[in-house]
Amino acid sequence: MELRELGRTGERVSVIGFGCGPLGQEYGALDENEGARAVRHAIECGVNLFDTAPYYGRTLSEERLGRALEGVRDRVLLATKCCRYDKDGFDFSAERVRASIDESLARLRTDHVDLFQIHDVEFGPFDLILNETLPALRAVQATGKARFVGITGLPIEMLRRLADAFDVDTVLSYCHGNLMTNDMGAVLGPLAEHGVGLINASPLHMGVLAPGGQQAWHPAPTEVLEMGRRVSARCTDAGIPVARFALRYALDRVPAASTLVGMRTAGEVDENLTALEGELDPALVRELEELVAPVRDWTWHEGLKENAPSRL
């Protein structure tokens, strides 16, 4: 397993990280024992970054991950989040941050997390996050309950503004570092040059580049969803699974320390790790980049209107 420096934290993380949304059944029912086997198998294969949140499964992901990590907690970098607790349930207050870390530690069965992050900053007022929420995270860090602090969300422009205004250890964005939308490096890359650890999530564009396609609730424009089907069909014709192509594309072309992938079973862990083998066909890469060009870097917005990106 290749390891990369996570900014200036002094930690090295696996280039493929374990996204724990599936443990909370965010993508369908999952037997807990099967999920635990996936966690343990990933660790044995060298995956060391595990990212969860109270929101995933409305605490179920944290609870299951905590049980799965018993006896092996010291082998992983454990990341969780605060401020989002339900679909429309947000609280960016300092008081809620302080309570949230204790609740998460209890569910995760540990005395500290390695990374404590604000979940989906686009749903909070910028000034509140800057002047209250982020200082509260640093206060949590001072207690020893979190080693590092970070921010997460979809709109990379807002993430950049926050990171420019407040010293954070990591920035996590999703659906901005893959074949369909790959502007993460242009906007957030300069942060990495100054020691901020970048984490990429959703290399499959939240299922657009998955074999079975995206969930019905996917918020991307129809043209993007249709393009995903065309990319998948072309990968099938070329004899490479679309998910493997998409993951390797992200690993090769996004300046992130780690790329998070949701994994449900030990078999899925093995399948994702095949992306580390060999190289992509340059001709196929050029062909697919030209194919998606008409919708390249299209995005969408969820959250407060004031936090919407300048270009949609």
SS3 199: strand
Q: Catalytic site residue 55?
A: no
At 122, which amino acid appears?
A: E
Cα atoms in the 13 Å half-sphere on the side-chain side of 153: 32
Structure tokens at 51: 């990212």
- Residues 6 or more apart whose CB falls under 8 angstroms from that of 26 comprise 56, 57, 61, 262
Contact present, 247 and 15 (Cβ < 8 Å)? no
Please state, in angstroms and rounded to a whole number, the distance separating the CA atoms of residues 224 and 228. Answer: 6
Q: Which of 55, 56, 174, 249 is labelled catalytic? A: 56
Radius of gyration of the chain (CA): 18
Which residues, at least 6 apart from 147, have a Cβ–Cβ distance to it below 8 Å? 9, 112, 113, 114, 115, 141
- Residue linked to tokens 């500290």: 112
- Residues labelled catalytic: 56
